[in-house]
Amino acid sequence: MRYAVGIDLGSTTTKAVVLGEDARPLGRGITNSRSNYEVACAVALAEALIDTRFSLVSRELEASGLPAAARAELLLELERQFRAEQYRSQLRELDRVVTRHSRRLLTRPASLSVVLERILARMAEEVDSLYAPGARRKSDFFRDLAGSRYLALAEDEARSSGVGFDLLAGLFDKAILEVENSAAASGRFEDHGRAAVDRMEKPDPLLQAAVDRAAATELCQIGSVGTGYGRQKLPFPEAQIRSEILCHGLGAHALFPGTRTVLDIGGQDTKAIQVDQHGIVTSFQMNDRCAAGCGRYLGYIADEMSLGLHELGPLASCSTRPVRINSTCTVFAGAELRERLSLGEKREDILAGLHRAIILRAMSLLARSGGVRDQFTFTGGVAKNNAAVSALKSLLRENYGELQVNISEDSIYTGALGASLFALRDAEGRAA
């Protein structure tokens, strides 16, 4: 099967989208960006190709005539088991690397290896409950999931065993880089897919056959386009790089063909883009000499408040009296936040004010790019934050009247989707 891939190397996460020759998305992958761009791209692509094989399974099941509800249930179960298998595989790699690092220490407590064994054994025991049906996970990244459990268990062990917490945490920090950079640790679809089916109590023969066929399908890359911001060096050949402005414009158009204005708020930049009826960019503006008011601002606020990034939006949405925050400078915002808290303002009211502040900055950028035209599509990681979305909607209404605001569940993949469309077009252009 032939496919084209688009990779968006963002400042926070790297995303990959795999397209079939019919221009329909087959798979998506996401991973933390890191200093090694090539590894980030390779991991995102590996994830997207795993996701692609899930799509193939889904198509096989559809062809077999199973009703939609039954198919959805089978796929959900397959994915749950698959992710648990993948987690186990990464956990084994973590075990191996932590142990190796611990052996290299010049001086180490006598009980260190026993303590590490206990922590990792307990983590392995928890996999079933972590991936139990209906269980909620805070993140899809191994680093986050394993990290929070490892550190919690290490804290317990440090108290009871006398082995220093810092030592245990330091070993994890060293090991996790290696584990998450290893494509082998996240495994292959054929191995985890088959193991996932085997773990089911009564695996459906149709599913089993579909997984086998999907695993056996040869995937052949016919084109790739990379995009990414503010990098002196991207791990793609020059002819295969497109600006993320064009990629976001085209990606938004592909998601919502009626799009005329796109706002993308990513980790370190905000983009206001105007596109025509073909998704071709006609003008754009980006944040200027500083990155105040971008996604990273919310990350910093979350850290300041000891909250997860995903917890900010829901908390801010509880606000009844948003406070007025003027500064979108990330550094000043921290000081303003502490000041407001000391004055007795509620956390949710402060957070609502902070969300409005970043959207106000985006409004200025939109105005500079030529205003807002119907339909308006909001993309980037911040589009997942409901408090930011509601501040945006109300400011759009105040300034531009009623218009259709599009937000896709997959908005974070917009740039990669646009890049994959360019890759497919390039491949078609070469073939023609």
Partner 1 sequence: MSRPDAAVAAASEASKDSSQVRQKEMIARHFDRLAKSKETGEKSAYTFVPGNLSELLLSFDVLPVLPEINALQSAMRGRSAEYISVAEKLGHSEDVCTYVKSDIGMLKSGNVGPTGQRLPDPDLLLLSYTGCFTFMKWFELLQQEYSAPVSMLHVPYQADGKITDAMRTYVVDQLKRKVIPTLEQVTGRAYDEDRLKECLALSAKAEDDLVAVLKSARNRPSPIDSYFGAVYYVGPIFSSFRGTQEAVDYYKALREEIDERVAKKQGPVTPEGEMGAERFRIVVEGPPNWTSFRQFWKMFSDEGAVCVASTYAKVGGMYDLGFRHDPSRPLESLAEYCLGCYTNLSLPTRIDLIVKYLQEYEADGFLINSVKSCNSFSAGQLHILREVEARSGRPGGFIESDLVDPRYFSAANIKNRLESYFQMLQQKSPSSVGLAAAR
d(CA 426, CA 432): 10
Closest CB to partner 1 among residues 206, 222 = 222
Shortest CB 6 distance to partner 1, Å: 13
Query: What is the contact mask toward partner 1 in residues 413 to 432, using x (rule: CB under 8 A)?
Result: ---------x--xx-xx---
Chosen residue from 25, 251, 279, 380 binding partner 1 by CB under 8 A = 279
Question: H-type helices in 181-308, by residue range?
Answer: 183-186, 189-199, 205-216, 244-255, 295-304
Q: Is 399 in the site for partner 1 (CB under 8 A)?
A: no
Question: H-type helices in 105-239, by residue range?
Answer: 112-130, 142-161, 165-180, 183-186, 189-199, 205-216
Closest CB to partner 1 among residues 160, 232 = 232
Q: What is the CA radius of gyration of the chain?
A: 23
Q: Is 120 in the site for partner 1 (CB under 8 A)?
A: no
Shortest CB 366 distance to partner 1, Å: 12
Closest CB to partner 1 among residues 214, 365 = 365
Non-local CB neighbours of 388 within 8 Å, separated by 6+ positions: 265, 298, 313, 355, 358, 359, 382
Of 353-372, binders to partner 1 (CB under 8 A) are: 368, 370
Q: Which two tokens stand for residue 211?
A: 């997984």
Chosen residue from 5, 281, 315, 354 binding partner 1 by CB under 8 A = 281
Best CA proximity match to 211, nearest among 420, 411, 53, 345: 53
Closest CB to partner 1 among residues 244, 348 = 244
Closest CB to partner 1 among residues 53, 253 = 253
Shortest CB 283 distance to partner 1, Å: 6
Best CA proximity match to 356, nearest among 279, 298, 409: 298
Of 65-94, binders to partner 1 (CB under 8 A) are: none
Shortest CB 229 distance to partner 1, Å: 6
Of 288-307, binders to partner 1 (CB under 8 A) are: 288-289
d(CA 152, CA 149): 5
Chosen residue from 280, 318, 331, 335 binding partner 1 by CB under 8 A = 280
Of 217-276, binders to partner 1 (CB under 8 A) are: 229-234, 236-238, 241-246, 250
Q: What is the 3-state secondary structure (H, E, C) of 335-404?
A: HHHHHHHHCCCCHHHHHHHHHHHHHHHHHHHHHHHCCCCCCEEEECHHHHCHHHHHHHHHHHHHHHCCCC
Shortest CB 391 distance to partner 1, Å: 24
Task: For strands 376-379 and 405-406, give the pairing.
Answer: parallel
Chosen residue from 284, 297, 378, 413 binding partner 1 by CB under 8 A = 284
Q: Is 283 in the site for partner 1 (CB under 8 A)?
A: yes
Q: Largest Cα–Cα distance in the chain?
A: 69
Shortest CB 423 distance to partner 1, Å: 11
What do you get for the CA distance between the two ends of the chain, in Å? Answer: 19
What three-state secondary structure class fits 209?
helix
Shortest CB 11 distance to partner 1, Å: 11
Closest CB to partner 1 among residues 279, 313 = 279
Q: What is the DSSP letter of 35?
A: S
Binding-residue total with partner 1 (CB under 8 A): 34
Closest CB to partner 1 among residues 161, 375 = 375
Closest CB to partner 1 among residues 242, 356 = 242
Q: What is the DSSP letter of 286?
A: E
Shortest CB 414 distance to partner 1, Å: 15
Non-local CB neighbours of 233 within 8 Å, separated by 6+ positions: 37
Non-local CB neighbours of 228 within 8 Å, separated by 6+ positions: 7, 8, 9, 10, 37, 234, 244
Q: Is 285 in the site for partner 1 (CB under 8 A)?
A: yes
Closest CB to partner 1 among residues 147, 370 = 370
Of 177-216, binders to partner 1 (CB under 8 A) are: none
**Residue that is written with structure tokens 């917490």 in the block:** 165
C-alpha triplet 159, 161, 164: angle, nearest 5°: 70
Q: Is 321 in the site for partner 1 (CB under 8 A)?
A: no
Best CA proximity match to 227, nearest among 215, 241, 238: 241
Closest CB to partner 1 among residues 202, 233 = 233
Task: Report the interface residues with partner 1, using CB under 8 A.
Answer: 229-234, 236-238, 241-246, 250, 278-286, 288-289, 368, 370, 422, 425-426, 428-429
